[in-house]
Chain A
Amino acid sequence: MADIKTKDFSKASAVSILDPQLRRALRQVGTGFDAARRAAIDEVSPKLWDEWREEARRIKIHSLDHLDYYLDLLEQNVTKAGGHVHFAKDAAQANDIMAELVRTRNIKIATKSKSMVSEELSLNPALEAQGVDVYETDLGEYIIQLAEETPFHLVAPALHKTKEQVAQLFTDKLGIPYNDDINALAAAARLALREKFLQADLGISGANFLVAETGTLVIITNEGNGRLSTSAPRIHVGITGMEKVIPSLQDLAVFLRLLPRSATGQRITSYVSMITGPRRADDEDGPEEFHLIIVDNGRSKMLADPDLREALYCIRCGACLNICPVYQKVGGHAYGWVYPGPIGAIVTPSLVGLKEAQDLPQASSLCGACREVCPVNINIPRMLLHLRQKSAESPDPSERSAGLVPNLLAEGYTRVMRSPALLSASHKLGRWQQNVWAAMPFFPFSKKGGMIRKASLPLLSRWTRMRDLPELPKETFRDIWKKDLKEGP
């Protein structure tokens, strides 16, 4: 599996928050992707949009509730079309299957179109260990492969790089003269990768959808690399998570409407490719062999948990990232693994374990914007809360996000809030404390506009260092109520 750096979430976000270039790149997410998404929805009418979302959700609920049945049907139909289906329970097994395929077929060069699952599995190193040269061919993926990084965004993996950085990278890695014109950079990638497509023995793709009825793998792309990877080499291997299956060809229509609009605001992407088995005897071109690797890698755990199953409805459009106030500040890498943003904060702890990623579900203000934009209407905030609860109640301390002190404070807070007498006593204590501090020559905080700033309060300092607190008022609402309001005007 891909390296897991989820434990560093708070450290990594503190670093990215201070990076001015990331700030700029992330600001564009709202003005670019999200504005395009909103315009695309306005064009179809919000009412129709909601009908589509409900339809998509119904399809996903049905598919996942009967996943065993549809995987079986899919396997039968891929096989009938002349393809091969392999099932992998985890990352190691998926990589072994791939290794076996490249070994027995003497594969030297592979081109790959975008696949988040292959990032999750760390497929490239596994292939390289077999002596295969693997080329990422989606422009964004190609850039991060050259830079040896992980995707920053589900849809735009190299979103965090400036054109100057890409130009320097191409100069260093491809040995071409520096040119930071974006068109020239795309042309350079085209030139470098065109010969690889034509030399490759193996094309690897992910899948956006798998149609059980016909045994069809569907990929949705804009660049044409997906078409080339699945058409030019002599073998095509699709590798994907088991949750991608939908029952019928007719179910595809609604997803083709929702996904491009949610991802980039397009009515449809430049290409939608539907692949059913290898080329037929009479076809002009296309791979001689077609393999499909279906991966579990922790997904059955999510399936088994009724509170998390919904996360498997995700179609990876990235809309929840683009709208998320946390993602917009910390960016994709802080999330520490392959899937960033609100949906990543659910998928990652579910797949790698809460022990590794207990901080991710905390990284949300629970504002609910993610759910509002989600084309499958996934209730992300509910699942974040569920994971927080799981973490807080876990008997295993390493799964808990907060340490002893914050837990005690939360416990105390609950008691005080439940008792009017304690609440009123604590207000008095707080005001008294505030007055004592205010009378001291050196305040442990500064006051401005009714706010207490940069307080370094004992026990609370990790919270208060970054956040301003309102000053306690002279009178509480209860005091005012008693004195002035109770009698009425």
Chain B
Amino acid sequence: MDRPLGVPKAEFLDSVRRALDRKPAAPDPAYPRLLDDVSALQVEAKRIRARLIETRPALLDRFAEVAEAGGWNVHRTSDPENAMAHIQSVADSLGVKNAVRSDQEVFAQILVDAPLESTGISVTTVSHSPDRSRESLRSSIIAADIGLTGADYAVAETGSVIIMPRKGLSRLVSVVPPVHLALVRPEDLVESLDDLFLLRRLEYHDKGGEMGSYLNFITGPSRTADIEQTLVVGVHGPKEVHLVLLG
């Protein structure tokens, strides 16, 4: 059933036009932020990337500080072994038995499976295949004590980790388990929301208009202040979130 329900679009838009007393027409002049000239966006993106590389050390400091303020437990190290030791100590302190992780590049850099498994933790990589159905992976996620992911981007302005679920990167791994641990590489970092959205616009138009089904900002633990305006950490999402910053 693909037929739209309700009023036909043309009729709905007509009534909006009547309210606005307007004829069908594109905005004139065109809206600057809708120009989809890929080469112009590329020039802008190049400028952003050059700036990010130039200012990286300061940016890493700022990201770490803002993320910590936003509720992440930040651990900084550029040494893969130290990163792994930290992940292990987080898992040990929580008494983790089952871990799930995404299938992202960063796990080729930080090899977590073998060390965790050697301490008796079962590690499931959430990536479906002919012999790993989505259903069985979903059960593993529900049973997991911790979810590990990388980041597609990280935003210094807000201390956010950005993930864009797709093949190998489940939506649920970072929200269903009670603890989430994210690995962030220096090259994931952008300075501001403006940087992020410009780069995403370029990717979108570059890929012929494919946005991907989901993009999620994660900033600290799940929280609420719905009862007596009192902050409670950990409602429906993770109560505890760790961020390993590899730089």
Contacts and interface: CB of A to CB of B under 8 A. Distances in A.
B215 A274 contact: yes
A278 interface: yes
Interface in A15-56: 25, 28, 32-33
Interface in B1-45: 1-2, 4-9, 11-13, 15-22, 24-27, 31, 33-34
Contacts of A89: 6-7, 12, 15
A230 B216 CA distance: 11
A317 to B, nearest CB: 15
Interface string B195-229: 01110110010000111111111111111111111
A32 to B, nearest CB: 4
B9 A273 contact: no
A276 B17 CA distance: 26
A88 B227 contact: no
Nearest to A277: B213
Given A81-B211, A190-B236, A276-B214, A28 B165 contact: no
Contact of A271 (B33, B69, B204, B219): B219
Contacts of B4: 84-87
Contact of B230 (A101, A182, A278): A182
A267 B236 contact: no
Interface in B46-91: 66, 69-71
Contact of B221 (A84, A213, A270): A270
Contacts of A248: 31, 33-34, 201
Nearest to A218: B215
Nearest to B168: A284
Contacts of A87: 4, 6-9, 11-12
A301 B16 CA distance: 9
Contacts of A75: 9
A300 B226 contact: no
Query: Do most interface residues of chain B lie in helix, strand or loop, or is the interface mixed?
Result: loop
Nearest to A193: B236
A284 B171 contact: yes
Interface in A255-277: 256-257, 264, 267-277
Contacts of B210: 81
A140 to B, nearest CB: 4
B234 to A, nearest CB: 7
A214 interface: yes
B159 A251 contact: no
Interface string A375-403: 00000000000000000000000000000
Given A186-B227, A223-B223, A286-B171, A268 B160 contact: yes
B172 interface: yes
A270 B226 contact: no
A252 B197 contact: yes
Interface residues of B, number: 87
A222 B223 contact: yes
A67 interface: yes
Interface in A222-257: 222-225, 227-228, 230-232, 242, 247-253, 256-257
Contact of B158 (A139, A268, A282): A268
Contacts of A269: 219
A308 to B, nearest CB: 11
Contacts of B122: none
A415 B175 CA distance: 67
Interface in A336-384: none
Given A228-B236, A280-B212, 13 more contacts: A32-B229, A62-B31, A67-B20, A71-B16, A77-B209, A97-B6, A139-B227, A140-B227, A223-B224, A228-B176, A253-B194, A270-B221, A275-B214
Interface of A: 25, 28, 32-33, 62, 65-69, 71-72, 75, 77, 80-81, 84-89, 93-94, 96-97, 100-101, 104, 137-140, 143, 156-159, 161-163, 166, 182-183, 185-187, 189-190, 193-194, 197-198, 213-216, 222-225, 227-228, 230-232, 242, 247-253, 256-257, 264, 267-280, 282-286, 293-294, 296, 300-301, 303-304
Q: Nearest 8 CB-CB pairs, A to B?
A: A224-B237, A140-B226, A248-B33, A253-B193, A224-B236, A272-B217, A87-B12, A304-B19
18 contacts: A62-B27, A81-B211, A88-B6, A89-B12, A140-B224, A156-B226, A162-B228, A213-B34, A213-B204, A223-B224, A224-B222, A228-B175, A249-B204, A273-B215, A279-B214, A283-B166, A293-B6, A296-B12
Interface of B: 1-2, 4-9, 11-13, 15-22, 24-27, 31, 33-34, 66, 69-71, 126-128, 134, 137-138, 142, 158-160, 165-172, 175-176, 192-194, 196-198, 200-201, 204, 209-230, 232, 234-238
